[in-house]
Structure 1
Amino acid sequence: MRTITANDPLPPQAAIDSAVRYRVKNYSPKGNRVGWLMMASILVEAWDLYSIAFVLIFVQEQYNPGALELGLAAAGTQGGALIGALIGGWLSDKIGRRVMFLSTMIMFIVLALAQAVVPSMTWLIIILFLLGIPLGSDISTGYTYIMESMAKGEREVMGNRWQFMFAVGEVLTLAVIAVFLVFDVNHQWVWRIVLGLGAVPALIILLLRHDVPETAVWLVQKGRFKEAKAVAKQMYDDDLAMLPNRDVVLPKPSTAAFIADLRKDPVRWRATLYGWIACFAQGSEFSTFAFYLPVLFTMVGVSSVLGNNLVTMALFCLAAVSGWVGPLLTPKIGHRGIGIAGFSIVLVSLLIAAAALYLDYKYVLPFAAAGMLWGHYWDASNCMTIPTMVARPRYRGTASGFAYMFVKLPSFLAIFLFPSLFTAIGQANATLFVAIFPLIGLLAAIFILPEVYGYEAD
């Protein structure tokens, strides 16, 4: 392979694309460490996204908010994450993965601590909304790192583990709350400490992330060849000899061209379209049914706050097992297989739950809830992996952020609006309504999604 010198003409886009393809086909084990650091940050996000749902009852005791304030507090972080997903992915492509990665962790620390000292319900809603912005941004940045730092197959298994990490984060949050309840800690302290504790893992991950370099793929796409060579040498012991040892000015890709670029390749377009639909379907099924779980437990006789907390924790322990098993099965049954299986399990579980409510077989409900969560942690596993993986490297951050938007939009709307629907049409009808979402996801997995396991964008 001939080394290009500084006197050679500017390499054409085809040569740069060739260098990117070469880079993504040659990985080192260091990429696994980067992947796990990305996954570790989801523990922080799970804590910050869902801890408010677990402690909202204590916030309500102290501030006695109205229905609108309560809904905004519950959904505020999801609303901020919607904005963060949009701007975070775009900024990741514009200013770099590493800058976004470090800045989001710093914001996690500051805003998590701010939650613990808010003087009023209004300030809590504001802080929760602001906290959602780095939460949405970090997911899109993390997925670009995984897709640009790990080998084919391995990166997909790692990317699909995000639901496992969410479940672990939720279990840890519930465990901490349970300890406080066992020791009868004042409820006003419980919610403040729980929300503020999110700063601790964020600080640890920030320290671990500090030496993670920018991805060589992003640097190549930006024409920063000298830095790309240095990173490639550090990470892969390969100095990308096909590129000149000088930086060049390259035309900046238009964000508006992202969709047009997808449409050029039917496989990439159909896979991305499925990812958006799956993100919306799984976000809707989880946010609606998760609201319903405490009511369900009360119906079967779990009436205390501690008892509700422990039963919820047990279900999320089961979900964590599902979130670990699903990615391991993906290489065997493919992305289509895990999507079809997951949405099918959720659909059947919700239909059983609805039938149990209509027939007043309340003892069936916990088993239906367990089945629903098991299937959900499969169908949600690859909805972010697929759109990020199939996107061209120059649009990868945008693609990831755009996909995450389809997770956060239904999450915000469901948490904010579903309680009213739940009250208006009743438990059984509401459960049957939720079954629409896994049905949509199942049909998309069968008729839209091509098998893209191991796919590499040109």
Structure 2
Amino acid sequence: MSEQSPNKYLKRVTVISTFGGLLFGYDTGVVNGALAFMSRPDQLNLTPFMEGLVASGLLFGAAIGSFVGGRIADNHGRRQMLLYLALIFFCAALGCSLSPTAEVLVGCRFVLGLAVGGASVTVPAYLAEMSPSDRRGRMVTQNELMIVTGQLCAFVLNAIMGVVFGSTAHIWRYMLAIASLPAIVLWFGMLVMPESPRWLVLQGRIGDAMDVLKKIRNEKQAVAEFNEIQDNLATEKNLEKATYSDLTTPWIRKIVFIAMGIAICQQISGVNSIMYYGTQILTEAGFSTQAALIGNVANGVISVTATFFGIWMLGRHGRRPLMMTGQIGTMCCLCAIGLLSSLLAGAEVLPYIVLSLTVTFLFFQQGFLSPVTWLLLSELFPAKLRGMGMGVTVLCLWLTNFCVGLSFPVLLSSFGLSSTFFIFAGLGLLGLLFAYRYVPETKGRSLEQIEKDFRDGSQGEEVHAAAL
């Protein structure tokens, strides 16, 4: 392989590894349009509860995949884990498309979720460990960009296939099968990607770690970062091999509490009620199925556009103000949907108002809240526990996601559009209060400096000062 500049090599690493995020996005977003077709009486004839189970079966698998995947990534390496995940993505996507019954589909979606959960932990950790501190925010949030790009691809393909081939009985099977294609790219791409230098140092592979650092840094930066990694690991020798009991160490327990809270707050904002059930929301507001599929593309477009904006904002502003801005913006949009859905029930203008508000909601979610969430989760844990800690944290994220995905169609069917969104607005207020009180500022600090702040107890004092 010819020599490349560190910047070009890092771009290559980022593009290839974030195909895991693209798969994450497509597989979570494709159900949005596919549900309308698979629910038909001549297909799987799904009840509202079964619709929730089909959508959330993946999310329950993702909860388990994130929990187990972090430990596997710690033991076998970030690169090797992504190779495993590519194979699962490929096989499970084909299994979903060929499912003869709803029960088999839920099972295949569960297996697919194992890969989604593993990718949600491994890709951000891999990018955080490969990136220099001054570019970590931009690189890690590239994964969030690929997630929403995957969702946009799902929405666009759903709309095209639904409008052009909507009369075809099994169109939903083709929607689900397309997810196997990016999995092939991920597998072949990761074959030529390097392992994380921090993981290599943990394994005692010092020469390999330095070789990787020289590819992704200039000579001076490579030596300085290598020394910092070694110095930091020297302070953790008393931990020896990381175990889950290490997460109960007081200063690490504090990180776990904050990280779990950040993960839960991102989900209770209600974002995935729109990403999974946007078509149903728009049909409930008054659109036809085909019009809802087309309108839902706007949600995907704004998600991608807002993520670009979020990446730009992360380079200029701290994590805390962006997270709180996202919580306030999403909460206001949810309140507006709830209020106007009640006041304008049955009006011809209502579906267009709801669509404009879901687009605004996703601007705040994907431009502020989601990029900060994944970046913070990749930053907070010490190197020796990063995979394990993110596994536990993202487990909470996916379990919360599962509860939202399973309950939303039932809530919509039982209470209607207005009351359902008021419920999520109330949960968003709790998320805002948590961010204000507990979320630390990590911008401008190396991963080793963040760890030292928590170890010394100074991080808590800074959060308290910021809250005041």
Q: TM-score if structure 1 supplies the norm length?
A: 0.85
Aligned to 1:194: 175
Pairing 1:358-377 to 2, within 5 Å after superposition: 358-360=342-344, 362=350, 364-377=353-366
* Residue 100 (structure 2) aligns with: 119
Deviates more, 1:87-96 or 1:416-425: 416-425
Q: 1:254: Cα distance to partner?
A: 2.0
Change (3 A) 1:451 1:236: closer
Q: Distance in 2 between matches of 1:434 and 1:124?
A: 28
1:127-276 correspondence runs (5 A): 127-184=108-165, 186-236=167-217, 251-260=240-249, 262-263=251-252, 269=254, 273-276=257-260
Superposed CA offset, 1:86-118 (max 9, x none): 000111112211210111011111111222222
Quote the Cα distance in structure 2 between the aligned partners of 1:277 and 1:175. 33
The correspondence for 1:357, drawn from 341, 353, 356, is 341
Structure 2 stretches lacking a partner, 5+ long:
1-5, 231-236, 449-468
State whether structure 2 residue 316 is matched by structure 1 residue 329.
no
Q: Look up the match of 1:287.
A: 272
Three-state SS of the structure 2 residue aligned to 1:383 is helix
* Post-superposition offset of 1:205: 2.1
Secondary structure at the counterpart of residue 243 of structure 2: coil
Q: 1:85 to 1:443 in 2, by over 3 A?
A: same
- Structure 1 residue 291 displacement after superposition: 5.8
Q: Is structure 2 residue 282 aligned with structure 1 residue 297?
A: yes
Match of residue 451, structure 1, among 433, 441, 454: 441
Deviations 1:248-273 (A, max 9, x none): xx831223203426448xxxx46x54
The residue that corresponds to 2:24 in the other structure is 45
* Corresponding residue of 1:388: 378
* Matched-pair contact (CA < 8 Å) for 2:155–2:300: no
Following TM superposition, by how much is the alpha carbon of 1:133 offset from its aligned partner in structure 2, in angstroms? Answer: 0.4
Change in 2 beyond 3 A, CA 1:263/1:202? closer
Task: Name the structure 2 match of 1:54.
Answer: 33
- Say if 2:58 is the partner of 1:77: yes
Q: How far is 1:344 from its partner?
A: 1.0
**Offset, 1:186:** 4.6
* Deviation, structure 1 residue 325: 0.2
Letter in 2 for 1:256: S
Distance 1:150 1:141, change over 3 A: same
What do residues 128-168 of structure 1 show as CA deviations (whole Å, max 9, x unaligned)? 10111011001211111111111113121222243332222
Distance 2:199 2:370 in 1: 27
Q: CA, structure 1 residues 457+163, in 2 after alignment: closer, same or farther (shift >3 Å)?
A: closer
Q: 1:424 aligns with which of 404, 414, 421?
A: 414
Distance in 1 (alpha carbons) for counterparts of 2:209 and 2:277: 50
Kindly provide the CA deviation profile for residues 193-230 of structure 1, in whole angstroms up to 9, marking residues without a partner as x: 11111111110122122111211211111223343344
Bigger helix share: 2
CA distance in 1, matches of 2:377, 2:82: 20
Q: Structure 1 residues 139 and 433 mapped into 2: Cα distance closer, same or farther (>3 Å)?
A: same
User: What is the SS of the residue equivalent to 1:47?
Assistant: helix
Distance in 2 (CA, whole Å) between partners of 1:441 and 1:32 is 34
Q: Distance in 2 between matches of 1:276 and 1:310?
A: 35
Mapped to 2, the partners of 1:52 and 1:302 lie a distance apart of: 18
| Cα distance in 1 between the residues matched to 2:16 and 2:169 | 33
What is the deviation of 1:342? 0.9
Is the CA contact (8 Å cut-off) linking 1:277 and 1:444 kept in structure 2? yes
Normalised to the residue count of structure 2, the TM-score between the two structures is 0.83
Residue pair 2:197, 2:210 contacting (<8 A) in 1 also: yes
Q: Alpha-carbon deviation of 1:179?
A: 2.3
Residues 27-84 of structure 1: CA deviation (Å, up to 9, x unaligned): 7652332223232321111111221232012212212134543332121111100000
| Aligned-pair identity (%) | 21
1:305-363 superposed Cα distances (whole Å, 9 cap, x missing partner) = 22111100012211211111012111212101210111111011112222212322735
Aligned length: 421
Flag the 1:298–1:192 CA change in 2: closer, same or farther, 3 A. Answer: closer
Kindly report the root-mean-square deviation, in angstroms, between the aligned alpha carbons of the 2 structures. Answer: 2.5
Q: Tell me, what secondary structure is at the counterpart of 2:241?
A: coil
